[in-house]
Amino acid sequence: MVNLCKGDVMRFLDKFSRRKYSSAREEGRQADQDSISTRLPQNIEQLHNLFPEAPDLIIREFTIKKTGELAALAYFKGLSDKNAINTSVLRPLQFEIGHDNQDEGFALSVGPIQSLNTWSDIEASIFSGESILFVDGRLEAYALDTRGWPQRAIGEPQTESSLRGAHQGFVETGAQNIAMIRRYISNRELKIKELKAGRRGATKISLLYPGDVAHPEVLKELEDRISQLDVDVIINTGELAELIEDNPYSPFPQFILTERPDAAASQLLQGRIVVIVDRSPSVLVAPAGFTAFFQSIDDYSTRWLISSFIRLLRFLAFFIAILLPGLYIALISFNYELIPIKLFLTIGDFRGRVPFPPFVEAIIMEITLEMMREAGVRLPAPIGQTIGIVGGIVVGEAIVQAGVINNIMVIVVAFTAIASFILPNYDMVASVRIIRFLMMIAASMFGIVGIVVGMMILIGHIISLESLGTPYGSPIAPFRLSDWKDAFVRLPLWNMKTRPISARAIQSKRQGSSRPKGDGK
């Protein structure tokens, strides 16, 4: 396991830290009860008071060999790296003399060392996995960066696998996630703003943005929204998205959540802002438009003609997934005349055997499908396969044989399911499901008119949505032709010379024509 926090260069506290120390002492005088005491036993007692029932808190007392001072090291078992503490902190302090020219510094082989003198600071840093060194007689404690909580190896993101893209996904450590993005954009213009949110467990939230491209207004808006949050803790990025969304009542996702560093980097380059929530493996990309949910990172690495075709297919699939069951109901219950005669006779033949009205039939099938899908998501992979068998054989075959549901309905549902599977974004798929049911209700009441009015409301809703103050419906409405190059189709890369307007980039030029002309020499 890689541990980024482990100091890899031997460092000594120098005069710089002394200056910091003295200024910290001045501040410490002003804070009274909160500040630590000079006496070690008192500090240790205070620690026990602060964390009364915390068996995982370790306090190790020892003598510093170099100076002979009494000291204590406190850390949480599991949150800190045991190896680093043993080899880089305890061993040098207990057994090494070090050089003479350092008076107050310690010979420690850990990265940053921070002086703290208030208990609230200590609490925050001990929870973040740092170990705290108390020294008898000093009015400060030292936070040693020995962070090393349980981590998962970097792997392929499960929800957004790709064929050509990178096979690294974000993990649960914010710092690592930032590093992964930095690997794509090694440029000083990649700026990072750190914010904290959450009362019970301050969650570190990092805003990554291209400094010379991102619109300051959008950035300000995002920052304001995050800093105004008042919550216990943010467990996951999804929570953050819901808390800062423009319209939380909408079924549509207004931010992109992704687990792919390459996707995040590519969005950054378009001028959008990436929000990394520590402890969550998905990052939030804002502002996002409706069409962004139909793009996948693979689009840019496959041939443009093919990926344009696939994009169009996705939009078609979106409409099929929303409308098909509704249309089926409308056609069977209201407008039979639209069905060509031969198909009509076939459907009539099947319908004659089924006891339920089309709406009930459709609801039964759709709910069965949704349940199967949900079951498939949660079940472990080996059992999950049985769902396929159950779905395929029991529902597909038996239900028709038994005359509960007709064949055409099964085809419609299967078609809808396939259509919704090709949408690359999980959040969009989820909203499609909800809308589909609403369309089915509308269709069962008013037939095609119901569907059309439903579409009116849907369109009206989509175009009035905003994501961080930028219109969600762009580039369709407001109409921005130059953004169409990367919305419904993907034009060749050398045609995408400007960043999308919908990202509100302040510097829109992307790259020159990088394609060799002529004979390619």
Binding site for other proteins (CB under 8 A): 249, 332-342, 344-345, 347-349, 351-354, 357-358, 441, 444-453, 455-457, 459-461, 463-464, 471, 473, 476-479
352 vs 382, beta carbon nearer other proteins:
352
Q: How far is the CB of 399 from other proteins (least distance, A)?
A: 16
391 vs 473, beta carbon nearer other proteins:
473
11 vs 480, beta carbon nearer other proteins:
480
- Any idea which residue has 């100091």 for tokens? 7
66 vs 311, beta carbon nearer other proteins:
311
Examine residue 475 and say whether the peptide bond preceding it is cis (omega within 30 degrees of 0).
Answer: yes
Q: How far is the CB of 247 from other proteins (least distance, A)?
A: 10
The helix (H) or strand (E) run that includes residue 132 is strand 131-135
**Token couple for 17:** 């830290």
Is residue 501 a contact partner of residue 515, using CB atoms and an 8 Å limit?
Answer: no
130 vs 483, beta carbon nearer other proteins:
483
| Cα separations in angstroms, 229 against 59, 203, 381, 473 | 35, 11, 38, 27
Is residue 212 a contact partner of residue 507, using CB atoms and an 8 Å limit?
Answer: yes
Cα–Cα distance for residue pair 206/278, rounded to 1 Å: 8
Q: How far is the CB of 518 from other proteins (least distance, A)?
A: 38
Q: How far is the CB of 301 from other proteins (least distance, A)?
A: 30
224 vs 349, beta carbon nearer other proteins:
349
Q: How far is the CB of 491 from other proteins (least distance, A)?
A: 19
348 vs 492, beta carbon nearer other proteins:
348
Q: Kindly write down the DSSP assignment for every residue of 165-185, as one continuous string.
A: S-S----S-HHHHHHHHHHH-
111 vs 447, beta carbon nearer other proteins:
447
Q: How far is the CB of 453 from other proteins (least distance, A)?
A: 5
Cα–Cα distance for residue pair 517/520, rounded to 1 Å: 6
110 vs 399, beta carbon nearer other proteins:
399
Task: Give the number of other Cβ atoms within 10 Å of residue 110's Cβ.
Answer: 27
Task: Give the number of other Cβ atoms within 10 Å of residue 214's Cβ.
Answer: 26
Q: Convert 447-462 to b/e letters by CB count within 10 Å (16 or more is b).
A: bbebbeebbeebeebb
Q: How far is the CB of 407 from other proteins (least distance, A)?
A: 13
Q: How far is the CB of 504 from other proteins (least distance, A)?
A: 16
Query: For 50, which DSSP code?
Result: H
- CA pseudo-torsion sign 144, 150, 153, 158: negative
Q: How far is the CB of 478 from other proteins (least distance, A)?
A: 6
Cα–Cα distance for residue pair 320/312, rounded to 1 Å: 12
Separation of CA 186 from chain center: 21
Please list the helix, strand and coil fractions of the chain in percent, rounded to the nearest 5, in that order: 50, 15, 40
| Phi (first) and psi of residue 141, to 5 degrees | -120, 160
